[in-house]
Amino acid sequence: MPTTLRRARVWAVRLAATVVLVIVMLPIGGAVNAIRALPDLQPWHRLQTRLEPKAAEITPSFTLDQYLAREDAVFREARAAVDDVVSKGANALVPNRYVEGSRSHPDRLPFSGNRTQVLAAAAPRGGVLLVHGLTDGPYSMRALAERLNADGFYTLSLRMQGHGTVPGGLVETTWEDWMAAVRMGARHVRDQIGADRPLILVGYSNGGALLAKYALDVLDDSSLPKPAKLILLSPMIGVSPAARFASSISLFGPVIPKARWIDVVPEYNPFKYNSFPANAGAQTFRLTSELNRELLDVERRGLMAQMTPVLAFQSVVDTTVSSPAVVHDLFDHLPSGRGELVVFDLNRQAGVDLFTRPDEVLPKLIGERPRPYSVTLVTNTRPDTLEVSAMSVKAGASEITTEPLGLSWPEAIYSLSHVALPFPIDDPVYGGEGRGREVGSVSLGRLSPRGEKSVLIVPQDVLMRLTWNPFFPYLAGRVRQFVSRSDVVRGN
């Protein structure tokens, strides 16, 4: 055997052994790290309901009423197994969404933000299906749903399985379950508005991925209600490559429950889980992989010309989803004139340039070259002002137009965040001027902790993450303009 061939075979064997070793060590390392680093699991981590409807159950004849009946059962189970248990003798001064009387308990506010929400309209102009992100609930869709309903739309803000109750609900649920719920929701909205009125889809984060996939599914399945417009906020088009290993890390979960978890954090947020099970990360990878595979397949078969018009909003920096993926994996594949991308820039007047990573930017979108979709960059009007303008380039053009928005960056805020986009400044819980505290709840958006970090029971960076959008009025205005335009797709 020639020496070169023998060496190549040796290196191939070594490489294969290394791969096997990594595959074996990942779950072992994950389990060891979970045991050593994570706090003890609480009742809200241990409860894994069997009451949520699975994908196989949600057939075309499965109705929203049936879905809501199962949702009620899930909430009753969680209250009996968690809230009623942990509330006994608990200190209500400690923020905990499962302790009755705590400021973090969802019932402190007069609306059920964790449950599916329907806003009817007497003579609807159309219907809107809104789908929230991973670990949160319909509350994140509340502001847009109320504004669209005020404009005459029937809105359905649908709670995805495993959400809104306890984080243990995400230990076993799958993206296929959520996708089946989305299809059920679209059928319901179509039934409510009739065949001649537009069906609008609005998705945030993980909900954006689900609705983008639904819009692609429609191109192959004529039985699905056709959407007229697709609106995405911080859409989960791409995630960290590390997400692919999430399911491997939790292989010892059946015997070591902590191994199922990546983060175990106090649950002080009334409408979003803070703890994060490994399965949730695994499902994001599976969903985005399938979405990108389908997008390329649809494009290869020449079906993208039928794609519904898309409007997306994305922060230039986002530590939850990939901002470049929104450009390269979605918008670069859309047919000409079918896409509008709005990007929120860094605050160029914040004075933190020396402390930001130079690679934390999107590819240059304004003035680089003509693109088949329109682009708007919301950025400082001048380097010396907090006031912002919208710099826009139409699809296929290179001329830049600038529109002052009458809005400004707040002092000491250098960027938006993944979780900020859907919330206005006056949101009771997450807004910078939220009045939740005044009505007995929490006002997380008003927190700006500055002091010694050792006294905090949660990481300081979590409390400092921006939870509201200073430019929400512009976002809401673009949404209203987009859904009101005549280039809609009437459907089945």
Measure the CA angle with vertex 61, ends 127 and 142; round to 5°. 30
Q: Is the pTM for the entire model greater than 0.75?
A: yes
* Sequence-distant (≥ 6) Cβ neighbours of residue 36 within 8 angstroms: none
Neighbours of 347 (CB within 10 A): 22
* pLDDT value of residue 439: 87
* pLDDT value of residue 486: 72
Domain 42-308 class in CATH: alpha beta
The Cα 98–Cα 438 span in angstroms is: 20
Q: Which long-range contacts (CB under 8 A, 24 or more apart) does 424-429 make?
A: 424/143, 424/468, 424/469, 424/472, 424/473, 424/476, 425/468, 425/469, 425/470, 425/472, 427/142, 427/143, 427/468, 428/109, 429/109, 429/139, 429/270, 429/271
* pLDDT value of residue 61: 97
Answer whether 355's CB lies under 8 Å from 390's CB.
no
* pLDDT value of residue 412: 84
* pLDDT value of residue 20: 46
Question: What are the structural domain ranges in the chain?
Answer: 1-37, 42-308
* pLDDT value of residue 35: 61
If you count them, how many residues does the chain have? 492
* pLDDT value of residue 100: 93
* pLDDT value of residue 8: 63
Q: Which two tokens stand for residue 23?
A: 């595959």
Answer whether 237's CB lies under 8 Å from 326's CB.
yes
* Sequence-distant (≥ 6) Cβ neighbours of residue 274 within 8 angstroms: 167, 263, 265, 266, 267, 268, 458, 462
* pLDDT value of residue 24: 47
Neighbours of 223 (CB within 10 A): 9
Q: What is the pLDDT along the chain (492 residues), one digit of tens a residue?
A: 566 666 666 666 656 555 444 444 445 555 555 566 789 999 999 999 999 999 999 999 999 999 999 999 999 999 999 999 999 988 888 899 999 999 999 999 988 899 999 999 999 999 999 999 999 999 999 999 999 999 999 999 999 999 999 999 999 999 999 999 999 999 999 999 999 999 999 999 999 999 999 999 999 999 999 999 999 999 999 876 665 656 666 666 667 888 899 999 999 999 999 999 999 999 999 999 999 999 999 999 999 999 999 999 999 989 889 888 999 999 999 999 999 999 999 998 877 666 666 554 566 776 678 899 999 999 999 988 999 999 999 999 989 999 999 999 998 899 999 999 999 999 999 999 999 889 889 999 988 777 776 777 666 677 778 999 999 999 999 999 999 987 544 445
